[in-house]
Amino acid sequence: MTGTDLRFEDIGVCYGPREILRGVSAHVPPGGILALLGRSGSGKSTLLNVAAGLSVPSHGRVVTRTSPRVGYVFQDARLLPWLTLQQNLALVCPPEFRADIPATLALVGLAGRDHDRPGQLSLGMAQRAAVARALVVRPDLLLLDEPCGALDELTAAELRAELGDLLRRRPATTLLVTHHPGEAVQLADRVLVLGGTPTGVAGTLDIDLPRPRDPDDPATLPLLREVRGLLRRADVPDGVEA
Ligand SMILES: Nc1ncnc2c1ncn2[C@@H]1O[C@H](COP(=O)(O)OP(=O)(O)OP(=O)(O)O)[C@@H](O)[C@H]1O
């Protein structure tokens, strides 16, 4: 599993009369990790839904090499509470991968919890189960929508480290939506900041640091500053000097 080649070509999205995205182009090579940042409501989840084929763009197109298998991790775990973890994963899993379910749960630190129901898990454990559900399909395209957003800082830091590790062991072309510049610098190869009205690409930044990455490494500081600068500039209304 290394993932699909993914291209957004001049994507525009309208919801009724409201134009949300305009002229968004980006390329993610197989196994690449692109972090999407931008103010709340800028259209990050919309772009993820376009990549997943859940939203049809009003303009432009998404080009992938093959018809990709998609793993989607939402902001909350969205596990079915009346099913065990094994059953939750089996629901999305092609029959040929079902035997992998216990190992995939173990991969995210949930060894032996196969027969627990979501109500028996902490929020962080439930979110790790959601990551396992996305990985068990062996995705060519992994869509992570603020996977750590609902977690306390310590649990979020643990999950970030685990995601970094998982993506090195099982590379997949990945789009990561986050509001956390540190998460983007820790996990991504490239950061894309969305901004403006309607939303377009306000800027990009390549993150060329060796892996595994330590979020406290001083080498990350200049990159964090640049990401924050991009976010500030993305927020300035058109025609005003940043
Ligand atoms: N199905 C929909 N119908 C109409 N408008 C929608 C729909 N989905 C999203 N929107 C609007 O599109 C805009 C972008 O929403 P989106 O959820 O993509 O933003 P976001 O950047 O992911 O926000 P957040 O960071 O808060 O999750 C918002 O103004 C939202 O109200």
Q: What is the pTM of this model?
A: 0.94
Q: Are residues 185 and 130 in the same domain?
A: no
Q: Are residues 147 and 46 in the same domain?
A: yes
- pLDDT category at 151 given cuts 50, 70, 90 is confident
**How many helices, marked H, and strands, marked E, lie in the chain?**
7, 9
- The atom of ligand 1 lying closest to the CA of 46 is 18
Q: Are residues 130 and 145 in the same domain?
A: no
Write the secondary structure of 62-109 as one string of H (helix), E (strand) and C (coil): EEECCCCCEEEECCCCCCCCCCCHHHHHHHHCCHHHHHHHHHHHHHCC
| Residue 49, helix vs strand vs coil | helix
ipTM score of complex:
0.97
For residue 146, which of 159, 133, 165, 129 has the smallest C-alpha distance? 159
Listed residues 103, 123, 138: the one ending a domain: 138
Q: Is the CB of 160 under 6 A from ligand 1?
A: no
Listed residues 105, 138, 171: the one ending a domain: 138
Q: Are residues 35 and 108 in the same domain?
A: no
Q: Is the CB of 180 under 6 A from ligand 1?
A: no
Measured in Å, residue 46 CA sits from the centre of ligand 1 at 6
Q: How big is the CA angle at 176 (ends 109 and 74), to the nearest 5 degrees? A: 65
**111: domain range?**
77-138
Would the pLDDT of 238 be above 60?
A: no
Please write the tens of the pLDDT for every residue from 156-201: 999 999 999 999 988 999 999 999 999 999 999 999 999 998 899 9
Count of domains for the chain? 2
> To 10 degrees, the CA torsion angle through 198, 200, 203, 205?
130
Stretch 93-107: mean pLDDT: 93
Q: Are residues 44 and 125 in the same domain?
A: no
Alpha helix (H) residue ranges in the chain: 44-52, 85-92, 101-107, 123-135, 153-169, 181-187, 221-234
